[in-house]
Each structure stands twice: as structure tokens, then as C-alpha cells.
A and B are shown apart, each in its own frame.
Chain A
Amino acid sequence: MSNKKILIVEDDADVRMGLHVRLKANNYEIFFAVDGFSSLTEARKHEPDLILLDLGLPAGDGFVVMDRIKAVPALAMIPIIVLSGRAGAANRERALKAGAKAFLEKPVDNAELLAVIRQALGETVKRERPLVHDLGTL
């Protein structure tokens, strides 16, 4: 199915790796950035179809990254999904206002993550074998 490119911006190496394995298993091509600074370079280099963005990052947090990306015409249209440990309505609103397509709280369950990614990429959601574990809604 897919083969779309996703840029994962995440400073935690283990979380990065976990996302990598999960998304690769769903046929996405994965690139990484580990801080605010490199995220822009990597985005320019790979021109991903989607960016999965953490908020708490060294060298320019997620909000700064969003601002920078939105300021580059070639990148401005790339959908951004925020995946953060910073919970709360205030962060959610701020992220959505800054142009994020969705705001997910860590730890996000796999089903939700994949559904949101597919939706942001405009892919139709197909039911496959259940590769997912519902964490509940609360």
C-alpha cells in the first residue's frame, strides 16, 4: 500500500526507534530528525509527505519547528502531526493553531496513530489484521 515518506522529529532515541519499527511495518519510508535545528534540514532534504513532531525538543521546540516549516513555501503544505508528552488543552490548542493537523498525547495507541497518519495523508483507512492495541480513551 503506502510508501509515503514520514519524517519523525523526536529526541528520545527509544521512542524514535519504536515509531520507526511500527511505521516501517506499515510500509512507510522513515526519516529522522533529533532536534529543532536538524528538523528543517531533514525536511528540506527528503521533502516528506508527513511530519510526526515532538514538542519538547532541544535546539528549538516543536512550536518553533512548526513556525519555521510553515515559513518555507516548499514545506508549508506538509501535514504535521504533533505527538507529545506535553498534554493538556492549552498545548493542543496552541499546536492546532500553529497549523498541526492533529495533536496526539504520548503514549498514543497504535490504532489511533495509524488512523491519524492515514487521514492526514489522505489515504483510505483499510481494516487489516489487528496490529493494534487499544489503550482505552482515558
Chain B
Amino acid sequence: MRTRALKVLLVEDNAGDARLLREMFTTERPGSIELTHLMRMSEALAHLAKGGVDIVLLDMGLPDGHGLDTVRRARAVAPDIPLIVLTGLDDEALAAEAMKEGAQDYLIKGQIENRALPRALRHAIERHRMQAETDHIRMSQLQFKDEFLSHVSHELRSPLTAIYQFVTILQDGLAGEVNLEQHQHLEIVLRNVKQLRAMINDLLEVTSLQAGKLLIRLQRTSASDAIAYAVDTLQGSARDKGITLDFEIEGRLPDVWADPTRIRQILIILVDNAIKFTPSHGTIKVKGRRLEAGSGVVVIEVADSGCGISAEKTELIFERLFQVSDPAMAARKGLGLGLYICKELVSRQGGKIWATSVPGEGSTFSITVPVFSLPNLLAPAFRKDNYGEIQITLVLTELGSRSGWLSDKVRAEYSYWMRDALQGCLNSKLDVLLPKMGSSEASELFFVAAVTDEIGGEAITKRIREKLHRSDEILQADLTFSTCYWTLAPVQRNADESMESFVEKVAAKIQESIDERNSSRMVKI
């Protein structure tokens, strides 16, 4: 059987080294190796991008590429092509690093035996192939597991629904009188239905967490409301167990940047756990406070007077499937996924979670949530996948209007603050905006409107959008704005002015601003 020629790309700027390597291939059967020799990283990358290469022999010291960077760049262009690095005698440590970056092997120049080179190439290719195969199998197994769990969880819901329905039908006497003992037995069935349902929900949650399918919608939201909601929701279960459950908010808690549903979910898991591990007549307190004055973080604590956790377990409890071994405490069963879900949800919203505890006295679970800030709000508009979709971004900021609306001094401070906030966005990982702003082809408009009011900004944004939508001028034009952003001069709301008229005023200002910039262009919202 005749095998096709092995296509080798040699990237080496030293002519002597290249000649030596080339000679090593001459012992091979003619036509079995097809060698391409390039001297520059840039040429190599262009060649790799075209495809058709079986293996790369890469020198790590090129005129236009050095060290690990060469490996990374080559891997970025051709992640699926095996790569062997060529190094000098002193660079073995570097070569080892290169293998961490994805190189299959390294060869030390001057120490390569004649016949070993072709063999090294074939082995590298084979290793690479096996690695790829293992990865593929692993991926499909993981995917199967996710699909399986998701499917099973869904399918479990129907029978569970039927059980719930008929137990409650019996309990409510819809099918005839039940005596006290029967009623109690049905109560036990119902309790187990609830547990089963909680487990199925946990299972689904973990599946979507791991499959990266969990939706987290970050927005400006009230941490105080979430705390009150969780406490309110579980007040009944606490009361049933004779536990005092309440909350305490320190000062005026700033709004946070989080998914309101998820924050409630986290707090409900934590409070529910606290109830589980707190004996009757115990207390549970949920506290919200700012980490430090002016810090960008809100801390929410759930403190109980329960059995506590030993020090070595305060980290373990956040692991998947961790369960309390004390049988007395395991009265309410679960899958051991609650705290794991909490940890994942908290960290995906940019926060941290930890526990402190004194065994016998109680535990405190704390989470942090980022405080809402302008960069948070602007970030999505700058995100690459949104980029190009968003023709106009209305960004609303709120400044407390209690002090009466802005004096010149405040106004100056405000514009600095706005600039800093924007820079905060631009300097972070989301550096896609700056290059785009310099480009003449960009067709997006970023718009920053500053509005001051205590009452929710969302309503105002909505109204402004609606208003702009109705504007024929805007809808009929057929061009888009070139990229720019500017700050709208703050619009004053008089003390006796209605929200309605205030919104009108802001919208008019925006319209004016748009007209000023370009009367014949269009803004899509």
C-alpha cells in the first residue's frame, strides 16, 4: 500500500540548521516526505492558515517570533496540527513549557539522530491523533451525560405531577372522607413529593450549569428586595420549626448588578439550609451590608444558631454531592447539590461565597454581589457578540436628585465621573470599542444619556425608546451613524414636574442631540 506523502512544515531561520534537518529526511523513501521550509513566523502562519500541513517543526527563536509566543501563535492558527518545537541545548525548560502550550514534543538541535527525526514526526502525529480522539470521546460522553440528565429530569416530572395531584385530591376529600390517620399518611407522601421535586430541580440546575446553558441575566436590582423575598418565602417553614427568622439591612443598601431571580434563588437555598440545620427555638438572621463604605461589593450573610460546621468542612460543603454525615441532621434528604449550585451562581455573577462557623453555636454563610455601576451597564453594549447589532445604546444613569439638581460644580464632577466610567469599560477586557471608534467603517452609535431621578430608570428608558420610535425622521432616514458617543447635558427635573413631562424633556434633548450631529442619518433602536 502506498501512503501519501507526509507534509512537513519546517520553520527555521538558521540556514545551517535547516540544511541539517533537511538532510535527515534524505534517508526516507523518496516521495514519503514533502518538506516546506519557511524562515519567518509570518510566512509560517500564512502557510498554516491555508491548511494541508500534517506536522510543524518550529524553531522558537525566529526574527518575528520568540519563545512560547511562537507556539501560541501557531496553535491559534492551526490548533489541530501537531507541532514539534526545536530548541537549543540550554532551552530544555522552555521546551517543557512549550509542551504545556500544546506542542507534542521537542527536539534539541544538534542532538537529533539521523534516523530519529522521521520517527519522531510520526510519533508526534500519532500522539496528537490519539489525544484528539480521547478528547472527542470525553466530550461526547459529557454531552451524553448532560442530555441524559436533562431528559430524565423532564420525564420524571409527569409521574411526579400525577402523584401530587392525586395525593392532594385524596387529602382534600374530593374522592370521599379520609380519616386522620390516612390524612397523616398522605402528608408524608406529599412531603416526599416535595423532596423529589427539589431534587429534580437541583439535577436540572446542575446539568445546565455544567453544560454552560444556564441563563444569567445581569441587571440593576435591589439586594434588599431579594433578602426580604427570601425571608418572606421561608417564614412559614421557619415558623413550623419554631425558628425565628428575620433580616436586617445596614444603612441604605446600594443596588447590585446581578440576576434578580438568581439572587433570590441563592438566598432561598441558604436560608432553607439554615432552617434544616437549626434546632427549634433557634434563630436565623439575614443581613445585608456594604463590605466597606464606598466599596463595590455588597455582602449578604445568613447567620444561624444551628449545629455549626467543623473548620475542615467549611470549604468541602461547597463541593458537589457533599452531604452531612450526621444521621440526626440528615432528616431532610437532598442530593447535596444546593451549596454547589449557590457557589456556581454566585461566582457567575462575579461574587464569592464562604462559610464561617463555630461548631455547636452556629454558622454564617456569606456571599458578595457587585454593586451596580455604570461600567456594568455599559459593558454589554461593548461586548463583541452584541457589537454590530446595537445601533444605539441608550444608557441611563441615575444621580440622586435629593440635593436639588446639579450645580456647575457637581456637573463638572459628574462629567469626570462619566468619563471614568466609560474608561472603566474601555480599559477592561472589553477593548473592542476603541479600535472601532477610530475606524471610518464603523456604523454603530453609542449614546449616553444621563438622567437624574430616584424612580427607576428603566421606565424612562422605555419611554424614550418609544418616543424615538415614533419619530418619522429617525425611521425614514436610511443611514447609520458613525461610531461616536457623547454625553448629553443633564436634563433638569423641576421639583413639581411630573415624570411624564420629564421624560418628554429628556427625549426631546436626545432628539435634538441626534439632529445636531446628523440630520440625514438614521438611528435604529
Interface residues of chain A, those whose CB is within 8 Å of chain B, are 12, 14-15, 17-19, 21-22, 25, 56, 85-90, 105-110, 131-138
Contacts and interface: CB of A to CB of B under 8 A. Distances in A.
A107 B158 CA distance: 7
A108 to B, nearest CB: 8
Contact of A110 (B168, B197, B208, B213): B168
A128 B268 CA distance: 29
Contacts of A14: 158-159, 162, 165-166
Contact of A22 (B165, B193, B236, B268): B165
Nearest to B229: A137
B160 interface: yes
B38 interface: no
Interface string B159-171: 1111011101101
Give the 6 A-B residue pairs with the shortest CB-CB distance, closest first: A18-B165, A85-B157, A14-B162, A107-B161, A106-B157, A106-B161
B80 interface: no
Contacts, number: 88
A15 B161 contact: yes
B165 A15 contact: yes
Contact of A21 (B160, B169, B233, B236): B169
B507 interface: no
Contacts of B272: 138
Given A85-B157, A90-B215, A137 B174 contact: no
A107 B157 contact: yes
Contacts of B175: 21
28 contacts: A12-B161, A12-B162, A15-B162, A18-B161, A18-B165, A21-B174, A22-B165, A22-B168, A22-B174, A85-B154, A85-B155, A85-B161, A90-B213, A90-B215, A105-B157, A106-B158, A106-B160, A106-B161, A107-B165, A107-B197, A132-B168, A133-B190, A135-B194, A136-B198, A136-B237, A137-B233, A137-B268, A138-B265
B201 interface: yes
A88 B190 contact: no
Contacts of A88: 204, 208, 215
Contacts of A87: 153-154, 157, 201, 204
B272 to A, nearest CB: 7
Nearest to A92: B215
Nearest to B236: A134
Interface string B242-256: 000000000000000
A110 B165 CA distance: 8
A38 to B, nearest CB: 19
For chain A, what secondary structure do more than half of its interface residues adopt (helix, strand, loop), or is it mixed?
loop
Contacts of B236: 134
Nearest to A90: B215
B202 to A, nearest CB: 9
Contacts of B268: 137-138
B172 interface: yes
A136 B158 contact: no
A107 B201 contact: no
A133 B157 CA distance: 17
Contacts of B265: 138
Contact of B164 (A90, A105, A107, A138): A107
B190 to A, nearest CB: 6
A110 B169 CA distance: 10
A12 B160 CA distance: 12
A106 B153 CA distance: 11
Contacts of B215: 88-90
Interface string B58-88: 0000000000000000000000000000000
A26 B171 CA distance: 15
A136 B233 CA distance: 8
A109 B193 CA distance: 11
Contacts of B190: 133
Nearest to B158: A12
Given A17-B162, A18-B166, A56-B154, 11 more contacts: A12-B158, A15-B158, A21-B169, A87-B154, A106-B158, A107-B193, A110-B168, A131-B172, A135-B197, A138-B201, A138-B265
A59 B515 CA distance: 54
B207 to A, nearest CB: 10
Nearest to B204: A87
A10 to B, nearest CB: 9
A41 to B, nearest CB: 23
Contacts of A137: 233, 268
Contacts of A107: 157, 160-161, 164-165, 193, 197
Contacts of A134: 236
Contacts of A132: 168
Nearest to A132: B168
A135 B164 contact: yes
Contacts of A135: 164, 193-194, 197
Nearest to A21: B169
- Residue of B154, B175, B204, B233 with most partner-chain A CB within 10 A: B154
Interface string B208-249: 100001010000000000000000010011000000000000
